[in-house]
């Protein structure tokens, strides 16, 4: 039986690597995307292969059309098919600034990767998935966008990040509607405070907030929490829920008195 293939952008560390491990355990072969040199990633690639998965590394910047094309071309050459796209790659603002001080350069840096890159990679992959579906009606595919609680929770010291993630949320709905006729579901996973390289610089701040009750479940999230949610979606455990948001935030977004 042919193994399914998943592309995970930003998949070599943090949330992306947590997702990659869960999908490797689910029996997927993987295409891992990052912008670093492959020589720096021997350990994570080896760990994934130890689960029995075939793994290729697709170096490329999703913020550029050339980068996106190179990623897809490598997958087509090596695997010849793609069942799952996990849009996980993202960048934090280079410097957290109040929205009254944010520069256009900082804004464009975040938007180009987190929103524009996600949107146009989804477009390219969607067209390829449609081709595969037309060639084989039994072909199964889905797209999963990793957004953030910042899609709805305002942080005035990183407004560009919030706007990008809100855009990813609408991107999910748009592609869910467009791909509905092809039975290709699109989902959004909205993580809360997850322990990664991106959040390491604000660890003390969130340690205190979590202890004071920021989340219903009083702990940091970990990449595996997000990976398990992705695994459930790609297994088809939610067959009638395209366009929906899965919260992985320890109950942080629940309105409370």
User: Is pLDDT above 80 for 1?
Assistant: no
Give the confidence band of 252 by pLDDT, cuts at 50, 70, 90: very high
For residues 216 and 66, what is the distance between their CA atoms, to the nearest angstrom? Answer: 43
Q: What CATH number does the domain located at 5-248 have? A: 3.40.50.720
User: Is pLDDT above 90 for 125?
Assistant: yes
Q: Where are the beta strands (DSSP E) in 15-136?
A: 29-34, 55-59, 84-87
For residues 237 and 116, what is the distance between their CA atoms, to the nearest angstrom? Answer: 29
Mean pLDDT, residues 205-217 taken together: 95
Mean pLDDT, residues 199-204 taken together: 86
Mean pLDDT, residues 72-94 taken together: 97
What are 141-195's pLDDT values in tens digits? 999 999 999 999 999 999 999 999 999 999 999 999 999 999 999 999 999 999 9
The percent of residues above 90 in pLDDT, for the chain, comes to: 95
The percent of residues above 70 in pLDDT, for the chain, comes to: 100
Instruction: Indicate the burial class of 48 (C-beta count within 10 angstroms; 0-12, 13-18, 19 or more).
Output: buried
pTM: 0.96
HEC profile for 176-241? Answer: HHHHHHHCCCEEEEEECCECCCCCHHHHHHHHHHHHCCCCCCCCCECHHHHHHHHHHHHHCCCCCC
Give the confidence band of 202 by pLDDT, cuts at 50, 70, 90: confident
């Amino acid at each position: 039986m042919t193994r399914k293939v998943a592309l995970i952008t930003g998949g070599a560390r943090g949330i992306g690597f947590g997702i990659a491990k869960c999908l490797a355990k689910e029996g997927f072969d993987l295409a891992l995307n990052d912008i670093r040199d492959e020589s720096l990633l021997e350990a994570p690639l080896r760990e994934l292969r130890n689960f029995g998965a075939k793994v290729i590394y697709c170096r490329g910047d999703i913020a550029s059309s050339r980068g996106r094309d190179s990623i897809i071309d490598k997958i087509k050459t090596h695997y010849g098919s793609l069942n799952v796209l996990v849009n996980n790659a993202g960048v934090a603002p280079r410097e957290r600034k109040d929205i009254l001080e944010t520069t256009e350069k900082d804004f464009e840096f975040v938007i180009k990767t987190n929103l524009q890159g996600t949107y146009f990679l989804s477009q390219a992959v969607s067209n390829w998935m449609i081709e595969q579906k037309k060639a084989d009606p039994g072909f199964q595919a889905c797209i999963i966008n990793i957004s953030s609680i910042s899609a709805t929770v305002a942080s005035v010291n990183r407004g560009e990040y919030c706007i990008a993630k809100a855009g990813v949320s609408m991107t999910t709905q748009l592609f869910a509607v467009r791909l509905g006729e092809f039975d290709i579901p699109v989902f959004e996973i909205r993580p809360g405070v997850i322990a990664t390289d991106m959040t390491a610089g604000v660890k003390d701040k969130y340690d205190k907030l979590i202890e004071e009750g920021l989340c219903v479940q009083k702990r940091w999230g970990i990449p595996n929490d997000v990976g398990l949610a992705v695994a459930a979606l790609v297994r088809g455990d939610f067959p009638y829920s395209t366009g929906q948001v899965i919260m992985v935030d320890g109950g942080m977004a629940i309105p409370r008195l």
